Structures are given as structure tokens and as C-alpha cells.
Amino acid sequence: MKLWGGRFTKPTNELVDEYTASIYFDKKLAKYDIQGSLAHVEMLNVCGIISKEDADKITEGLKKVAAKIESGEAELSAESEDIHMNVEKLLIEEVGPVGGKLHTGRSRNDQVALDMRLYLRVALVDLISLLGKVQESLLNQAKANLDTVMPGYTHLQRAQPVLFGHHMSAYVFMFQRDVERLQDSFKRVNKSPLGAGALAGTTFPIDREFVAERLGFDGICENSLDAVSDRDFVVEFLANASLISTHLSRLCEEMVQWSSAEFNFIELDDEFTTGSSMMPQKKNPDVAELVRGKTGRVYGHLMGMLTTLKGLPLAYNKDMQEDKEGMFDTVETLKGALALFAPMIESMQVKKENMHQAVKEDFSNATDLADYLVGKGMPFRESHAVVGQVVLHCINQGQYLLDLSLEEFQSFSNLIEEDIFNALTPETVVNARNVAGGTAKNRVEEQIEKASAYLKENKEWIEDKETIIQA
Ligand code: ARG
């Protein structure tokens, strides 16, 4: 007999049980479901809705159910549809009919919204902590490469030299925005929908604030209809996750390029690469490729969730059961990628010499020659044209700027003097970009300092939240 079987004259078709069940995936919520129920039953007693004796029995029973689910001893069935009804059924088996008092003043609609929020806030803290480790590994590479000059690119054409440390710290700031977005979303996740009932509230004199406080929420969802209909927090998470995936994917792409023979800028550690079943010489950046590839499923989950919600009338609709798998998969996908990323970056070997060589073998100091002429009084537009001529001359001769003699330089402009040779070295060129946020060594050091301060704040945020989210 179903928990809700009273008004039915026939059992549910087995195919319907199978089709509508969510237990196959929402069993992940078991821990949170029981966490919520423990707070709910305590409140029912405090508000005089059930006796202390009953509340104690239910509490004990719930703890036993939790242990049995955790150990795998409890049997979860599609017939009981979802984790909420499975837990309730197991509770009644454990403590008898008194277990049936747990669901007083509550619906699965507010219950499932609660479980989703309890799950997600833990996931947010975990992800922020994993992002922190990735940021740290990038920052360590940045610190180790404050003298490593590499070509900076636009259009994937060599543009102006930059420090590899500057390039690494760019990603630290990208991930910092991700951290801040997740932290901001935490505020909206951390509100309690419990007490909204099926949609309209409940006739029992419950205390929603009590439950919210017990569970470490910052407050309650103010409108019962909204409380059970809202899955914005899931969409928001998936959107934030999509951007994290974008950032990871861009870095992956660079790692794939840099580790190719064509670039030869880095070598990924053997531990984080794989071989080919046919070609004995191969060392493939599989991890970076797969992280890049998994971006697709994360974007897909975002589109899926938005589409599921579009056009749903208030309040709860069964469609909303589709909120779970995409969210779980996204959390797992990101956790997997981030956990691998930190050691992969930390252990990557940076081929400083090759980077440096690449800078010498190109015209990425051309802007500096133009700027040099500006310094001697020539309008920039004019100097741009002059340097264009110099570059063309060099290309025709198979030379680079620093291969020219002073006489050759002067044949293009007599403003050029002996000091040009120093002005065009990679180190001078890099350190000349001495503007806040620029690639000069001291500016990159400044960025590293700022980033380190952010990382410290992130850690404090995590410590603060960890105390409230423990299930
Ligand atoms: N398994 C359902 C879900 O995940 C729980 C809520 C069901 N409520 C209902 N009235 N059918 O959305």
C-alpha cells in the first residue's frame, strides 16, 4: 500500500512506478532529508504539535534509518517513489505507527526544496574550497615564473611579450570571480522553504524560523508559493558552473597547445597524461582534453533546467523532479575536474628557455620600437608606419629587429640611437609595461599579493560556512 494510497482502488501500474520514481538518483539526498526531518520533528514538539515522547521515538528512529541507508542495509524501492517516502516508510518500519506523525505540517513539495538547498550549500562550500586549491597552484606557478618571458598572443599571433607569471595570475582572477559568484549565490540558497507545505502553508502552529535557525539558514523563503516553485537557485548554480567550466576549458586548451611539439612551452607530468594503444611515442594531455570536453554536459544541464522551468505554472509540478540529475552531475563533474587540476598545474614543467626563444624569434617588440620613436617626438601614427616598414624589411631579409645594425635602423629614422638595442630586449619590453595590472615584474608581484589576499578571505568564508552546514 502506498503512503498516499487511501483514495485509490487499484495499485499503480508498475511502469508508472518505474517512470515516476526518483529514488534512483535522489537517494543522494538521504542525509539531507534526514537532517531536515530531525529539525522538523524537534520543532513539532517545541510547538506542542507532538509529544516529547513521540518526538524522541521519531528522532531515534530517523538516526537508525540514516545509519541503515548509509551502510547500504536499508532497501530503497521505486514503489516508494522517492527518498522522502522511502525514509518515511523505513521510519515506520523502525518505530511503528508513531513514525507517521513526522509528516505533520509538511509536504514533499517543501521537503524536496529543502533537501536541494541543504545539498547545494554543502556542494558550494566544497567547490569553493577546490577552486581555492586550483588558484593556489596557479599562484605558485606565477611566483615561480616572475622572470619567465613568453610571447603574449592576440588572434593566436604573437603580439607582445608577457611574463608567464602574468598569464598564470590571469586565471587566478578569473577563478576568483567564480568563487565570488558562488559565494553570492549561497545567500539565495541559504533560505528555508520548510513550512510552505504543499503550496499554501499549513494549519498547524509551526515555527518556520525555529527550523531555519536549527539548520543554519539565514532566514525563510517569504512566500509559500514561491518557496515550493523556486528552482532559480539551481539555474543560478548551473550558470555559475557553466562559467567555471568555460574558464577551465580555456586553460585546458592552452595546456593542450603549449604541450604540443609546435609550441613546446610546457610538459605535463607523466602522472597526468596518458599513452596511445598504438603509437608508442605518444604522451597525450587527456585530462585537459576531457575537462574541455565535459564543458558540453554542464552547458547542457543549464539549458535543460531553464527549459524545464519555462512555462511552468505555480506552484509545484512534477516536471521539477528533473532538477536533480543535472545538478548532481554538474557538481560531480566540476569536483572531478577541479581536484585533478591543482596537482596537474602544480606538477607541470615550464620550459622557460623555449618560451624565451620564441620571444626572440618574432616581432613582439615592434610596438616598443614605435613607442621609442614616440618618445623621441614622432606622432604614434607615423611611428607605426615607420616600424611597419622596418618589419617588412626584416621579413624580406630573414631577420628580426635586434639583428639590425644601428645604420640600418637609422636608414628608417635618424631619431634612432644606440640605446635602441637595450630598449628592444624581451626583459626591457616586459618591464616597460609598468602600469597597474601590466606585465612588468613588479606589477605582476602586486597582482600576486592581491590574489593572495583574496585567497585568504575565501578561506575565512569557508571556515565560517563550514560551521553551519554540517549535516
Ligand atoms: N520526487 C519529487 C521531486 O523530486 C518530490 C516531490 C513530489 N511531490 C509531489 N507532490 N509529487 O520533485
Instruction: For residue 420, give the CATH number of its domain.
Output: 1.10.40.30
Q: Are 318 and 264 within one domain? A: yes
- Global pTM reads 0.96
The rounded distance, in Å, linking the Cα atoms of 382 and 366 is: 14
Q: Is residue 433 part of a domain?
A: no
How many residues in the chain?
Answer: 471
Domain boundary among 53, 80, 104: 104
Distance in Å, CA 111 to ligand 1 centroid: 9
Concerning whether 155 is annotated as a catalytic residue, the answer is: yes
Domain boundary among 303, 323, 357: 357
Q: Are 64 and 136 within one domain? A: no
Q: Are 72 and 140 within one domain? A: no
C-alpha cell at 434: 609598468
Structural domain boundaries enclosing 71: 5-104
Q: Are 347 and 394 within one domain? A: no
Q: Is residue 275 part of a domain?
A: yes
Q: Taking a C-beta distance cutoff of 8 angstroms, is the pair 348, 268 a contact? A: yes
Q: Is residue 307 part of a domain?
A: yes
Distance in Å, CA 52 to ligand 1 centroid: 29
Q: Is residue 134 part of a domain?
A: yes
Of all atoms in ligand 1, which is nearest to the CA of residue 26?
A: 4
Q: Are 236 and 340 within one domain? A: yes
Q: DSSP letters of 237-300?
A: HHHHHHHHHHHHHHHHHHHHHHTSTTT--EE--GGG-B--SS-TT--B-HHHHHHHHHHHHHHH
The rounded distance, in Å, linking the Cα atoms of 325 and 329 is: 6
Q: Taking a C-beta distance cutoff of 8 angstroms, is the pair 80, 89 a contact? A: yes
Q: Is residue 25 part of a domain?
A: yes
Active-site residue among 129, 249, 276, 356? Answer: 276
Domain boundary among 357, 375, 398: 357
Q: Are 153 and 66 within one domain? A: no
Write the CB contacts of 381 (distance below 8 Å, at least 6 apart in sequence).
none
How far from the centroid of its chain's Cα atoms is residue 49's Cα?
A: 42
Q: Are 216 and 98 within one domain? A: no
Closest among 116, 114, 315 to 225, alpha carbons compared: 315
Q: 83-108 b/e with 16+ CB inside 10 Å = b?
A: bbbbbbbbbbebbeebbebbbebbbb
How far from the centroid of its chain's Cα atoms is residue 336's Cα?
A: 11
Distance in Å, CA 83 to ligand 1 centroid: 10
Number of domains in the chain: 3
Neighbours of 137 (CB within 10 A): 21
Residue type, 35: Q
Q: Are 96 and 114 within one domain? A: no
Probe ligand 1: pick from 19, 109, 117, 309, max atoms within 8 Å of CB? 109
Of all atoms in ligand 1, which is nearest to the CA of residue 320?
A: 12
Q: Is residue 282 part of a domain?
A: yes
Of all atoms in ligand 1, which is nearest to the CA of residue 82?
A: 1
Distance in Å, CA 22 to ligand 1 centroid: 8
Q: Are 264 and 220 within one domain? A: yes
The rounded distance, in Å, linking the Cα atoms of 346 and 349 is: 9
Q: Are 35 and 52 within one domain? A: yes
Q: 426-459 b/e with 16+ CB inside 10 Å = b?
A: beebbbbbeeeebbbbebbbebbeebeebbeebe
Q: Are 123 and 80 within one domain? A: no
Q: Taking a C-beta distance cutoff of 8 angstroms, is the pair 145, 168 a contact? A: yes
Distance in Å, CA 344 to ligand 1 centroid: 41
Q: Taking a C-beta distance cutoff of 8 angstroms, is the pair 193, 116 a contact? A: no
Instruction: For residue 158, give the CATH number of its domain.
Output: 1.20.200.10
Q: Is residue 449 part of a domain?
A: no
3-state secondary structure of 159: strand
Of all atoms in ligand 1, which is nearest to the CA of residue 83?
A: 1
Concerning whether 103 is annotated as a catalytic residue, the answer is: no
Q: Is residue 99 part of a domain?
A: yes
**pLDDT tens-place values along the chain, 471 residues long:** 788 989 999 999 999 999 999 999 999 999 999 999 999 999 999 999 999 999 999 999 999 999 999 999 999 999 999 999 999 999 999 999 999 999 999 999 999 999 999 999 999 999 999 999 999 999 999 999 999 999 999 999 999 999 999 999 999 999 999 999 999 999 999 999 999 999 999 999 999 999 999 999 999 999 999 999 999 999 999 999 999 999 999 999 999 999 999 999 999 999 999 998 888 898 999 999 999 999 999 999 999 999 999 999 999 999 999 999 999 999 999 999 999 999 999 999 999 999 999 999 999 999 999 999 999 999 999 999 999 999 999 999 999 999 999 999 999 999 999 999 999 999 999 999 999 999 999 999 999 999 999 999 999 999 999 999 975
Probe ligand 1: pick from 88, 108, 305, 308, max atoms within 8 Å of CB? 108
Q: Taking a C-beta distance cutoff of 8 angstroms, is the pair 203, 87 a contact? A: no
Pocket residues: Cβ below 6 A from ligand 1: 22, 26, 82, 108-109, 112, 316, 318, 320-321
Distance in Å, CA 449 to ligand 1 centroid: 49
Active-site residue among 71, 155, 277, 405? Answer: 155
Q: At what angle do helices 83-95 and 108-144 cross, to 10 degrees?
A: 120
CA angle 12, 328, 16 (to 5 degrees): 10
Cell 606557478 belongs to which residue?
Answer: 141
Q: Are 119 and 70 within one domain? A: no
